[in-house]
Amino acid sequence: MTQAAQPRFTGVFTPKLATIFAEGYGLKDLRADAVAGLTVAIVALPLSMGIAIASGVSPDRGLYSAIVGGFLVSALGGSRYQIGGPAGAFIVLVAATVALHGIDGLILATFLSGLMLTLGGFLRLGALIRYVPHAVTVGFTTAIAAVITASQLKDLFGLRLPGGEPGEFGPKVVALAQALPSTNAQALAAGVACIAIAVAVRRWRPAWPALLIGVVIATLAAALLHLDVETIGSRFGGIPSGLPMPHLPVVTLDRLWAVLPAAAAFTLLGGIESLLSATVADGMSGRQHRSNIELVAQGVGNMGAALFGGICVTGTIARTATNVRAGARGPVAGMLHSLFLLGFMMLAAPLAAYVPLAALAGMLVVVGWNMAEKAEFARLVSVSWRTAAVLLATFGLTLARDLITGIAAGCILAALFALEARFRTRRA
């Protein structure tokens, strides 16, 4: 590498952690990052467990992802404020992968996705993800929000499904509707209370951790009133008080080939979601992230999470925004958020057994509602029939088939419309 080329490579692939240390990092910055990291950890604690449960795995795997993956994303990433961890957007993909390939298949797909993201970053593909049409992003995000909400209704209502819960959106809604007579009123009360408290706290005290407060109060009520509700302890036996030893499942060519489609889906969604989150942080802070090293960090974060038995990691918009608002100075806040989560896990693991699943379901219903870009969806429908077609194709096919089909259809349709518009312009 020539001397002239070296600074350019260093700039593109230098983690922001190195940048802030080069600029000068003092005790005042560390104090600010510690406060921000603690704030984000309080938000991430119930979310990480809830997302894991909704994804069809045990709650400890969500914590492993937030601790290991989140630490690596912050330490190596191209955003000063990005918070990595399990995200609601992955619930559908992770649940489908577990159903098809089991836990070992999920871990292998997550590790393979990490390799793909890392390679994509070093190939400088980060800028390409920015060209995904806005209507496609809004379409699949809103569809995922709808699927997340539907996936939580079973635990929210305490329903009993004799034939198991279908994975597809349409059959799932039908099965849930048919099971409504089995509603557990006490579970529903705990879930609705969590939702109501979270909404009220967010409205009247927006700086407080609304979701955690809702879950804690619902948990205390369920324990003190001896409610007949399913809890983390009754379904999973609680969570461990530390990280497991790193390992990977047995890797064979056949297994790699089997999980390759899932890994590709994780890679596509993870790349889009993480760079969207970094862009949101840029808009809030006036900074600019480095997209390619951010992809590399996301890849390393996923490989690290997989080694400890975790699930997919990506940049999380809500937690990243919380980090910015809490006054973070740089990536140290994200690293400390992971260490605080590890401390919570080591000290308070036995208490997690008392958390009602209905409360976590209520929390994720709030997450789904906030994720759905309702106003933007309505605006895009009215912009033009072409924009509406791209939006609705992405939304509908994501619900009816899967995320990859929805994104592919939306992007292809948008490209065809762009070519048609260019052709018309030339003829005119």
**Tens-digit pLDDT profile for residues 41-78:** 998 999 999 999 989 999 999 999 999 999 999 999 99
Per-residue pLDDT, averaged over 413-418, amounts to 92
Alpha helices by DSSP H, listed for 55-90, are 59-64, 70-76
**Type and span of the H or E element at 85:** strand 84-85
Q: Give the chain's end-to-end CA distance (angstroms, integer).
A: 49
Give the separation between CA 409 and CA 422, rounded to whole angstroms: 20
The rounded percent of the chain whose pLDDT value lies above 70 is 97
The two structure tokens encoding residue 331: 């990536």
Which pLDDT value is given to residue 3?
A: 44
Asked if residue 12 has pLDDT above 90, the reply is no
Q: The whole model's pTM is what?
A: 0.85
Give the residue among 189, 159, 187, 185 at the shortest CA–CA distance from 173: 159
Give the separation between CA 190 and CA 156, rounded to whole angstroms: 8
The rounded percent of the chain whose pLDDT value lies above 90 is 64
Give the residue among 281, 264, 348, 310 at the shortest CA–CA distance from 74: 281
Mean residue pLDDT of the chain comes to 90
pLDDT tens profile 107-141: 999 999 999 999 999 999 887 777 788 899 889 88
Give the separation between CA 275 and CA 205, rounded to whole angstroms: 29
| Concatenated DSSP letters of 177-219 | HHTGGG--HHHHHHHHHHHHHHHHHHHH-TTS-HHHHHHHHHH
Give the separation between CA 126 and CA 283, rounded to whole angstroms: 18
Give the residue among 405, 407, 378, 375 at the shortest CA–CA distance from 390: 407
Which pLDDT value is given to residue 88?
A: 84
Asked if residue 8 has pLDDT above 60, the reply is no
Secondary structure class of 277 (helix, strand, coil): helix
- The contacts of residue 387 (CB under 8 Å, 6+ apart) are 135, 380, 381
Residue linked to tokens 């975790």: 310
C-alpha distances in angstroms, 145 versus 86, 149, 185, 380? 15, 6, 25, 17
Question: Where residue 420 falls among pLDDT bands split at 50, 70, 90?
Answer: confident
What count of other Cβ atoms lies within 10 Å of the Cβ of residue 247?
A: 10
Which pLDDT value is given to residue 9?
A: 45
Give the residue among 145, 155, 180 at the shortest CA–CA distance from 273: 145
Per-residue pLDDT, averaged over 265-276, amounts to 90
Which pLDDT value is given to residue 303?
A: 97
Residue linked to tokens 């100075």: 329
- The contacts of residue 216 (CB under 8 Å, 6+ apart) are none
Question: Where residue 428 falls among pLDDT bands split at 50, 70, 90?
Answer: low
Asked if residue 171 has pLDDT above 50, the reply is yes
**Type and span of the H or E element at 314:** strand 314-315
The C-alpha torsion from 418 through 424 and 425 to 426, rounded to 10°, is 110
Which pLDDT value is given to residue 51?
A: 92
pLDDT tens profile 254-268: 999 999 999 999 998
Per-residue pLDDT, averaged over 247-251, amounts to 88
The two structure tokens encoding residue 316: 């999380």
**Type and span of the H or E element at 102:** helix 91-122
Per-residue pLDDT, averaged over 2-19, amounts to 67
Secondary structure class of 231 (helix, strand, coil): strand
Which pLDDT value is given to residue 116?
A: 97
| Concatenated DSSP letters of 281-294 | HHHHHS----HHHH
Per-residue pLDDT, averaged over 373-402, amounts to 92
Per-residue pLDDT, averaged over 288-306, amounts to 95
Asked if residue 1 has pLDDT above 70, the reply is no
Asked if residues 313 and 305 have their Cβ atoms less than 8 Å apart, the reply is yes
Which pLDDT value is given to residue 155?
A: 93
Residue linked to tokens 């034939």: 163
Most confident by average pLDDT, 244-248, 335-339, 409-413, 418-422 = 335-339
Asked if residues 407 and 140 have their Cβ atoms less than 8 Å apart, the reply is yes
Give the separation between CA 42 and CA 5, rounded to whole angstroms: 43
Asked if residue 408 has pLDDT above 90, the reply is no
Residue linked to tokens 């961890």: 85
Residue linked to tokens 């983690």: 15
